[in-house]
């Protein structure tokens, strides 16, 4: 270590804070100028932490299950009655669904319908909530030799969760549909009208840009639209709900506040290509460009 | 000696990582931001030697990379809080707990506003200010508990004179 006289050392100590504040501004500019660099740094940290969080997640989820179990024991009786009633109702619906499925199959057979290829998927554990104060995202832990790509679509067992936006070697970040940067082309199932689903960082994203004269109806189901070739058509997104101020929101079908396992689907869609793959496409030559 | 000196920085980093872990607490993101804020404020006020600007910078960077925010925002916020704590140190360190707490509430509100402004500016969009206010409120509520723990650590574990 270099020996410095006391006044020089004091002057240096006084300078450190202003210099570091300037460096913080520089960091902001750098992050703005080279978004990829920030993303790489973030994913390097996430890759290091994902296995640790993954190990932590298991006992924590056990604790949560136990506490849920304890809560449920208190409402067993009423819950049982409710489930019995719901089961009756669903059984009637199952009969309808089976009849419709059979009818659909015969109709498709008559039409020489070309079925969509079944998409491949991988399941991944959600190991951390990775949004911060002004974003909504989750961190997934994936194996080192994964086939996950940016832009793949994440679903939980009930509906659409989001899209993979950042990818490391052992982890992936999924931007949720509630994030303020999320824009999803959707179809209102009742009227077949198209609209955009816009995240607000709140628990329920909003609907905008529906055709004039076809406002979304309360309780209407919302599914994804194949427009822009970013999503396949017909993935369940949620149910329309109007707020007190007459704003059309969508209650997500997916349980975004308690995600544990999500499935990442590869539909082979490249409608909205994230920046990194664009540059790699360019590097790969014109024959791979879409 | 070095371990005791490094205690504040290390525990703050560990607290950051812990609050990023999958605890599934409601408002965990806000909790993470306010834990960093309270911890940096406390140590900058009562033990600035163990919380030098470089460590504050590193902690801010860690917090930024753990979240999805534009990098640099948390770094700047924490450095400003550190600077303010240093400046007010002579007055505040002699005051009772209540006044320090009140000062922290002011700092937390200011820091949340700064963070909100910077994030809005960098993402070129007016973000809803709700989460920022929530963050400040959590910080204000959390500070007494955290300060009690840290004061205890300050007098025992992290005391360089005891080494």
Please report, in tens digits, the pLDDT of each residue of chain A (290 residues total).
Answer: 566 777 787 777 778 888 888 888 888 888 888 878 888 888 888 888 888 888 887 888 888 888 888 888 888 888 899 999 999 999 999 999 999 999 998 998 888 888 777 788 888 888 887 777 888 888 888 888 888 888 889 999 899 999 998 888 888 999 999 988 889 999 998 888 999 999 988 889 999 998 888 888 888 999 999 887 888 888 999 999 998 888 899 999 998 888 888 999 888 776 665 555 444 444 444 444 43
Residue A211, SS3 per DSSP: coil
The residues, ordered by sequence, that sit 6+ positions from A203 with a Cβ below 8 Å of its Cβ are A178, A252, A256, A257
Query: What local confidence, expressed as pLDDT, does residue B19 receive?
Result: 83
SS3 A270: coil
The tokens of A73 are what?
A: 């024991």
Total domain count, chain A: 1
> Using CB atoms within 10 A of its CB, is residue B74 exposed (0-12), middle (13-18) or buried (19+)?
buried
Distance (Å, rounded) from C-alpha A180 to C-alpha B117? 16
At B122-160, the pLDDT tens digits run 888 788 888 888 888 888 888 888 888 888 887 776 665
- The packing angle between helices B2-20 and A35-74, to 10°, is 70
Which residues contact residue B119 at a Cβ distance below 8 angstroms, ignoring those fewer than 6 apart? A133, A134, B69, B70, B73, B127
Note the ipTM here.
0.81
Say how far apart CA A23 and CA A16 lie, in whole Å: 10
Do residue B22 and residue A130 have CB atoms under 8 angstroms apart? no
Would A243 be classed as within a structural domain?
yes
- Smallest CA–CA distance, residue A88 to chain B, in Å, is 34
Q: Can you give the C-alpha Rg of chain B in angstroms?
A: 15
**Spatial distance between the Cα atoms of B159 and B163, rounded to a whole number of angstroms:** 7
Instruction: Tell me the nearest-neighbour CA distance from A128 into chain B, angstroms.
Output: 5
Q: What is the model's pLDDT at position B158?
A: 60
Please report, in tens digits, the pLDDT of each residue of chain B (163 residues total): 667 778 888 888 888 888 887 777 777 778 888 888 899 988 888 888 888 888 889 999 888 888 777 888 889 999 999 999 888 888 887 778 888 888 889 999 999 999 889 888 888 878 888 888 888 888 888 888 888 888 888 777 666 555 4
The three-state secondary structure class of A159 is coil
* Residue ranges of domains in chain B: 2-162
Could you tell me the sign of the dihedral formed by the alpha carbons of A278, A38, A50, B63, in that order?
A: negative
- Mutation target among B22, B23, B135 for the A interface, most CBs of A within 10 A: B22
- The CA-atom distances, in angstroms, between B43 and each of B49, B81, B155 are 9, 11, 12
Q: How far apart are CA A88 and CA A81, in angstroms?
A: 11
CB spacing of B123 vs A134 below 8 angstroms: yes
Determine the Cα–Cα distance for residues A64 and A68; give it in Å rounded to an integer. 6
Question: Which of A163, A219, A170 minimizes the C-alpha distance to A191?
Answer: A219
- Kindly identify which residue of chain B lies nearest to residue A44, measuring between CA atoms: B65
Q: Is residue A72 part of a domain?
A: no
**Which residue is it, tokens 């920022």?**
B132
Residue A210, in any domain of the structure: yes
Spell out which chain A residues touch chain B, with contact meaning CB-CB distance below 8 angstroms: 16-17, 20-21, 23-32, 38, 41-42, 45, 49, 53, 56-57, 60-61, 64, 126-135, 137, 173, 180-181, 200-202, 258
Q: How far is B25 from chain A (nearest CA, A)?
A: 10
Residue A85 in domain: no
If we measure between CA atoms, which residue out of B59, B47, B81 comes closest to residue B158? B47
Q: Report the run of H or E that residue A56 belongs to, with start and end.
A: helix A35-74
DSSP state of B123: T
> How far apart (Å, rounded) are the C-alpha atoms in residues A138 and A259?
9
**Residue A216 maps to a domain:** yes
Which residues of chain B does A29 touch, with a Cβ-Cβ cutoff of 8 Å?
72
Which residues make Cβ contacts (< 8 Å) with residue A258, sequence separation at least 6? B24
Residue whose C-alpha is closest to residue A191's, from A163, A228, A164, A222: A222
- Report yes or no: B108 at the A interface, CB cutoff 8 Å: no
pLDDT of the residue at A237: 93
Among A42, A142, A46, residue whose Cα is nearest residue B21: A46
Q: Which chain B residues touch A141 with a CB distance below 8 Å?
A: none
Task: Please indicate, yes or no, if residue A200 is contained in any of the structural domains.
Answer: yes
Q: Which chain A residues have a beta carbon less than 8 Å from that of B80?
A: 21
Q: Which domain holds residue A226?
A: 183-253
Structure tokens at B138: 């959590």
Chain A residues close to B40, C-beta within 8 Å: none
Q: What is the CATH number of the domain that holds A211?
A: 2.40.10.350
Contact B112, B133 (CB under 8 A): yes
């Amino acid at each position: 270590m270099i020996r410095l006289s006391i006044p020089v050392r004091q002057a240096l100590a006084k300078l450190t804070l202003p210099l570091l504040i300037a460096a913080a501004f520089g960091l902001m500019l750098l992050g703005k100028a080279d978004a990829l660099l920030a993303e790489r740094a973030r994913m390097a940290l996430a890759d290091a932490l994902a296995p640790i969080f993954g190990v932590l997640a298991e006992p924590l989820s056990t604790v949560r299950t136990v506490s849920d179990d304890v809560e449920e024991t208190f409402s067993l009786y009423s819950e049982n009655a409710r489930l019995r009633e719901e089961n009756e109702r669903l059984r009637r619906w199952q009969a309808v669904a089976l009849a419709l499925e059979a009818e659909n199959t015969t109709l498709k057979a008559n039409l020489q319908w070309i079925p969509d290829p079944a998409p491949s998927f991988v399941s991944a554990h959600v190991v951390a909530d990775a949004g911060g104060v002004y974003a909504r995202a989750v961190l997934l832990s994936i194996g080192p030799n994964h086939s996950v790509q940016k832009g793949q679509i994440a679903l939980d067992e009930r509906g659409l969760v989001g899209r993979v936006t950042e990818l490391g070697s052992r982890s992936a970040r999924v931007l949720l549909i509630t994030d303020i940067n999320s824009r999803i082309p959707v179809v209102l199932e009742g009227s077949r009208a198209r609209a955009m689903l816009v995240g607000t960082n709140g628990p329920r994203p909003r609907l905008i840009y529906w055709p004039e004269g076809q406002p979304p109806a309360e309780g209407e189901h919302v599914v994804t639209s194949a427009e822009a070739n970013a999503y396949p058509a017909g993935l369940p997104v949620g149910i329309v709900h109007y707020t007190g101020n007459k704003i059309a929101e969508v209650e997500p079908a997916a349980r975004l506040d308690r995600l544990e396992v999500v499935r990442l689907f590869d539909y082979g869609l490249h409608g909205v290509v994230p920046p990194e793959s664009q540059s790699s496409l360019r590097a790969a030559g014109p024959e791979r460009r879409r | 000696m070095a371990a005791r000196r490094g205690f504040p920085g290390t525990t703050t980093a560990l607290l950051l990582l812990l609050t990023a872990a999958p605890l599934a607490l409601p408002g965990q993101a806000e909790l993470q931001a306010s834990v960093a804020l309270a911890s940096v404020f406390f140590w900058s006020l009562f033990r600035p030697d163990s919380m030098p600007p470089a460590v504050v910078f590193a902690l801010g960077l860690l917090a930024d990379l753990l979240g999805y925010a534009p990098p640099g925002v948390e770094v700047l916020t924490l450095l400003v809080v550190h600077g303010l704590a240093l400046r007010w140190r002579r007055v505040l360190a002699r005051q009772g707990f209540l006044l320090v707490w009140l000062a922290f509430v002011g700092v937390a509100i200011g820091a949340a506003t700064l963070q909100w402004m910077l994030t809005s500016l960098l993402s070129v969009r007016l973000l809803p200010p709700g989460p920022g206010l929530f963050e400040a409120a959590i910080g204000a509520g959390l500070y007494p508990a955290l300060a009690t723990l840290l004061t205890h650590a300050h007098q025992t574990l992290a005391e360089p004179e005891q080494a």
